[in-house]
Amino acid sequence: MTEKPKDVNFFTKAHNVAMQIPYGMVTSYGAIAKYLGAAKSARMVGWAMNAAHNNAAIPAHRVVNRKGLLTGKFHFDGTNLMQQLLENEGVEVKNHQIVDLEKYFWNPQENLDL
DNA sequence: TCTATGACTCCGG
DNA sequence: CCCGGAGCCATAG
């Protein structure tokens, strides 16, 4: 139990948003962080995804940085696993980077009705 | 308690 | 878009 009984709010919300990412769509850490009200804490979203490793219900592979680059691929089991997962969902990925990011981008603030 | 680090983002050049 | 630098905040040691 590495988690503390206090302040799991940020992670919980981050997990909640990540879980709501629709199939074949992707979003950025900053978008999630902004939705959480902590646009400056985009890094924490990444941390939350790290914790999400323990939660298979959280598609962390659908979360990329603002450039559409699969920055988290390194933390996955394999090197290209993350890319394979996205391609499997119909997202065109090239060299660990999403081709038409805007096309697959999913904004939580517009879709989750803040 | 303090220091270092990081799945990021923004800003100026 | 690329490059370098700064800001941010939680976790680990």
Any domain includes A35: yes
In this predicted structure, what is the pLDDT of residue A97? 94
Structural domains of chain A, count:
1
- The mean of the pLDDT values for chain A is 88
CA of A4 to C1' of B5 (A): 20
CA of A50 to C1' of C4 (A): 28
List beta partners, residue A97.
Answer: A69
In this predicted structure, what is the pLDDT of residue A54? 84
Any domain includes A70: yes
Residues sharing a CB contact under 8 Å with residue A12, sequence separation 6 or more, in sequence order: none
Any domain includes A113: no
Residue A65 has pLDDT above 70, yes or no: yes
- Which H or E run contains A11? helix A9-19
Q: Residue A15 belongs to a domain with what CATH number? A: 1.10.10.10
Q: What is the pLDDT of residues A94-107, one digit of tens each?
A: 999 999 999 999 99
Closest C1' nucleotide to A42's CA: B8
Range of the domain at A51: 6-105
Share of chain A above pLDDT 90, in %: 70
Q: Measured from the CB, is A23 under 7 Å from any atom of strand B?
A: no
Any domain includes A17: yes
Q: Measured from the CB, is A109 under 7 Å from any atom of strand B?
A: no
Residue A15 has pLDDT above 80, yes or no: yes
- Which H or E run contains A32? helix A29-36
Report the predicted TM-score, pTM, of the whole model to 2 decimal places: 0.89
Tokens of A96: 């660990």
Closest C1' nucleotide to A47's CA: B7
